[in-house]
Structure 1
């Protein structure tokens, strides 16, 4: 089957410069509504990837996101949100972007065209068979990402991919390819739009479900979140209060003493059991 680059197809909307602000916004929103449906169709593949990641992480494995441009930035974003949300060390979910941290704010010329650099970076992180490498590329053709996945898979490492074109070269390299076919972008070829939105949704789904499976959420609450500002201390205090039936100030003292909702609740209950 020949490879069709849907991400480069002409927009279904034309003469954009002649439209009013309201027409532009409604057009973008009309396209955005297609994203959740495309992601929904990919759930079986997302499930397949997550169920293979969890046992690896229980053995100390890590997740590496590999991407360039928007895709790389979204991987770094998702990775950076795991420590504050779930109280995990920043070494467990790692986002690598073609061109390094400079590329988070500025384009780095030709960085994504280097087929070997992605694997070299993984080797620098002592990649091993407990780890998972997830390549992100809307087009499914980014050499930096393809090279990393090809080498990782050859070394017996679990590989997944997220792309917006069916049967892409990237999908061919991944053990578990995730394809969310969102269709042409509102501005032709601007994959920071629907493709980026869909990538963010899938990354949220992967890491959130993995962290829940690893016991980092209780009920529906972030009991391991970092207490990095007043809002989070207040939220954590209310969680402790609700869980233990204590007054707000006592709950706050416990929370700040032990550093997380889970530790505070566990310590209080252990103390009660010993009395």
Structure 2
């Protein structure tokens, strides 16, 4: 398989470039990523529709990956509960090597084709759920093994990869292949590939949550009020939605704990 993620950078002699030249070079490469993502929106749409259907029926969304890909999945999953007020087990990110690998690489963790399914068993994964494998190269055994076992057990499977025709894409029922080309630093897939994966994960989770009713208008009405900034944002949201004064809006939030419930109960004030 010809892997564009491993091809030589379009730039040479990086070590001889000035800081400005390096920054402009990286930025120029980054500009190509959204265009590559745009090409796969139809594939992303299919995956979102499946996720919304499954979660609506009580299912969950799982991400598996190794290294940067695994960390991006965990990042996306961990931001869903505070942003949209969903249960912590609705969107789950799993990385090869376990939580230790979030901060420090675990040697050979991604090469174990059996481990992903074992890791998923800890969450009692079933055919009600959706599994997305994330792998820039599209060749990670951990991800391939997890997808294959998920298919055998009747799950809907998808993937996010950055090479065309990869083993991971072949293992997924709904592949999303974002071909971003060679990296600025040859083979450093935490750069353009990682950016592409982050963009697609944002699109998948955000669109799914909107379709699941977790956004009203353009506001995060179910967000968790975990700090002063978010409480202030929530007060403003309630004031905008109800025309109430700040004190009354704050009182409603204190009583009901969310923007949605505060607005729903505002007519009693």
TM-score, normalised with respect to structure 1: 0.97
Distance in 2 of aligned mates of 1:79 and 1:52: 17
Matches within 5 A, 1:231-242: 231-242=229-240
- What corresponds to 1:148 in structure 2? 146
Find the counterpart in structure 1 of residue 206 from structure 2.
208
1:224 equivalent in structure 2: 222
2:176 match: secondary structure = strand
The unaligned stretches of length 5 or more in structure 2 are: none
Would you say how many aligned residue pairs link Structure 1 and Structure 2?
269
Q: Which aligned runs of 4 or more in structure 1 are off by greater than 2 angstroms? A: none
TM-score (norm 2): 0.99
Other-structure match for 1:251: 249
- Tell me what 1:38 maps to: 36
| 1:68 matched to 2:66 | yes
Question: Structure 1, unaligned stretches of length 5 or more?
Answer: none
CA distance in 2, matches of 1:12, 1:237: 50
Distance apart, 1:122 and its partner CA: 1.1
Aligned mates of 2:189, 2:195 — CA distance in 1: 9
Q: What RMSD, in angstroms, separates the aligned Cα atoms of the two structures?
A: 0.8
Residues in 2 aligned to 1:113 and 1:260: alpha-carbon distance in whole angstroms: 44
Paired with 1:69 and 1:180, the residues of 2 have a C-alpha distance of: 18
- Superposed displacement of residue 268, structure 1: 2.3
Q: Distance in 2 between matches of 1:184 and 1:168?
A: 16
Match of 2:86 in 1: 88
Partners of 1:112 and 1:230 in 2: CA distance: 40
For 1:4, the equivalent position in structure 2 comes to 2
Q: Distance in 2 between matches of 1:256 and 1:152?
A: 43
Offset, 1:266: 1.1
